[in-house]
Amino acid sequence: MQIMRNERRILLNATALSVFEGLGQLANLILVVRFARVYGAGTMGYYSVGMSAGAVAAIFVSLGIPGLLIRDISRDPSCARDRLGVLLPVQLVLAPLAWAIACTASIALIGNSAAIGVVMAACGYQVLLTLTTLMLVPLQATEQMLVLAGCNLSHRVVILLLGLTAIRLGGNAEIVALTFVVGVLGLFALAWGQVSRRFGAPAWRFRPMEALKLYRLAAPFFGLSALSVLYARGATLMLSALTTAQAVGLYAIADRLMVALGLGSTMFNAAAYPALARVAHSSSADAQALLARCLRLLLVVAIPFAALAAIFASDIVRLLFGTSYLGAVRALEVLAWTLPIRGAQALLGSQLAAMNQQAALARTRLVGLAAFLVLCPALIVSVGYVGAAWAVLSCDGVHLALYWRLLTKGRTAPALTIAYLAPAAAAAASAAVSAVLADMGLAARLTGAIVAMVAGMWVFGAIRLHDLRFLQTLIVGKEPTKAA
């Protein structure tokens, strides 16, 4: 069965990506924790603003090209060498300009020229990461996930080792931030070697008009990318304009933890998108069936993770960052619930992109971004940096509803209510047990919450015997029997 083979491929790719990327994110989190503890919330705020401004500037370097190339190379891998050779020279021209603009904007938002070193390094990392992402696209498009994940892990480990060494030797925050730039340059070199070996070295040539044709084709992807990055980084940038660097740093802690907590969903979607694009190209019915199964599997994991993160938010922040960062707990409790919403939203968005609905996606993203730009500053002014978290959660829900509506119009929408209800009920049971055990130690509370979660997942039907048999089938690679 073709759907079974696609689902098994997604599961294996998502597992490989999650393991390698999980290790990479762990390396990055260790460095961020150490950076925050040594240099304080204010410097952490400067670093976060530089990363956010750099990410926004970087979209004007990539201009949506990765999304286009993933779709095209997944169908015709032979075009990779030619496309990269045309696009890389143009992006190398755009990158320095984007970096300079990002640095200038960051300093204007922060209002403190003493942060220039950290900001320059953070912005440089994001812009250079765009070039590296372009080089890695053929690996993702052809689902060579182990190689892709290995490259990403190696650069995270290099950054961790260099950063910890700089801190140990008494280096300042600027030196530590610079290790990110060194790491991403090493990743670019590694990506060049891996892609050249598998697809041939990029046929390097400066042809702006030919690149412009590709950018025009990628315009819908650029719109989606721009709206997504502005939305993802908007809270940090607005906080930097409306509050203090200390408040930005506290929000950044919660936001950074969400990157680690959302890793599984992100990697699952990264593995699912090429398969959805391939299946949607041949059969919308098969694509709908594949999406429904993926959504169910994702929510069975994402909702419990969200509940546990919210329940134990204070313990997580205290253990990792210390008591001086406990102000980040309230933001983390709110942001935790974006996990299942964003996971489902990403899958629905991948389905729409696979169906060549980029223009509709862009319009939907624009509506969500407009709502965010109105709601976020209002909530920040009224309740502080926690208001930014509430704005993100609210607008994530809006995006999910709008994506589902688009799929409903095309009669390809999965059943969201059924997918969410059982895991949500299990999460509620876990929260109730945790509240009863509130006066006990962390180990007892965590054990009780996990046991209640697992029991609730089984009792409420989120985990069923045929689901376990299906997962076993995916892993061993055999077709399911009728009894299953």
Q: What is the rounded CA–CA span in Å between residue 191 and residue 136?
A: 6
Q: Which two tokens stand for residue 130?
A: 């765009």
Residue type, 474: L
Give residue 9's pLDDT band: very low, low, confident or very high (50, 70, 90).
low
- Helix ranges (H only) for 283-415 are 284-311, 313-321, 329-335, 338-354, 358-383, 385-409
Q: State whether residue 206 is helix, strand or coil.
A: coil
Domain ranges of the chain: 2-414, 421-484
Q: Which two tokens stand for residue 79?
A: 């075009």
Give residue 390's pLDDT band: very low, low, confident or very high (50, 70, 90).
very high
Contact criterion met (CB below 8 Å) for 179 and 162: yes
Tell me how far apart the 2 most distant CA atoms of the chain are, in Å: 68
Contact criterion met (CB below 8 Å) for 4 and 136: no
Residue whose tokens read 């009863």 = 436
Q: Give yes or no for residue 484 having a pLDDT over 50.
A: no
What phi and psi values does residue 401 have, to the nearest 5 degrees? -65, -40
Q: What is the rounded CA–CA span in Å between residue 232 and residue 227?
A: 9
For residue 463, what pLDDT is reported? 65
Q: Give yes or no for residue 51 having a pLDDT over 60.
A: yes
Which residue, 330, 371, 394, 111, is CA-closest to 227?
Answer: 371
Contact criterion met (CB below 8 Å) for 240 and 45: yes
Q: Give yes or no for residue 477 having a pLDDT over 60.
A: no
Contact criterion met (CB below 8 Å) for 115 and 107: yes
Residue type, 366: L
Q: Which two tokens stand for residue 441?
A: 């130690």
Q: Classify residue 325 as left (phi > 0), alpha (psi -120 to 50) or beta.
A: alpha
Q: Tell me: the pLDDT tens digits for 237-246? A: 999 889 888 8
End-to-end CA distance of the chain: 15
Residues 6+ positions from 466 with CB-CB distance below 8 Å: 484
Q: DSSP string spanning 410-474?
A: TT----HHHHHHHHHHHHHHHHHHHHHTTTS-HHHHHHHHHHHHHHHHHHTTSS-HHHHHHHHHH
For residue 389, what pLDDT is reported? 94
Q: Tell me: the pLDDT tens digits for 233-273? A: 889 999 988 988 889 999 999 998 888 888 777 777 766 76
Q: Tell me: the pLDDT tens digits for 305-363? A: 899 999 999 999 998 898 889 989 999 999 999 999 988 888 888 888 777 777 787 78
For residue 483, what pLDDT is reported? 34
The better pLDDT of the pair 357, 212 is held by: 212
Query: Mean pLDDT for the chain?
Result: 83
Q: What is the rounded CA–CA span in Å between residue 422 and residue 299?
A: 10
Q: How many residues does this entry show for the chain?
A: 484
H or E element in which residue 95 lies: helix 80-110
Q: Tell me: the pLDDT tens digits for 103-128? A: 999 988 888 777 899 999 999 999 99
Q: Tell me: the pLDDT tens digits for 148-165? A: 888 888 989 999 999 999
Q: What is the rounded CA–CA span in Å between residue 339 and residue 336?
A: 6
Q: Give yes or no for residue 3 having a pLDDT over 50.
A: no
For residue 182, what pLDDT is reported? 94
For residue 159, what pLDDT is reported? 94
Within 13 A of 23's CA, how many CA atoms are on the CB side? 14
Q: What is the rounded CA–CA span in Å between residue 410 and residue 406?
A: 7
What phi and psi values does residue 112 have, to the nearest 5 degrees? -145, 105
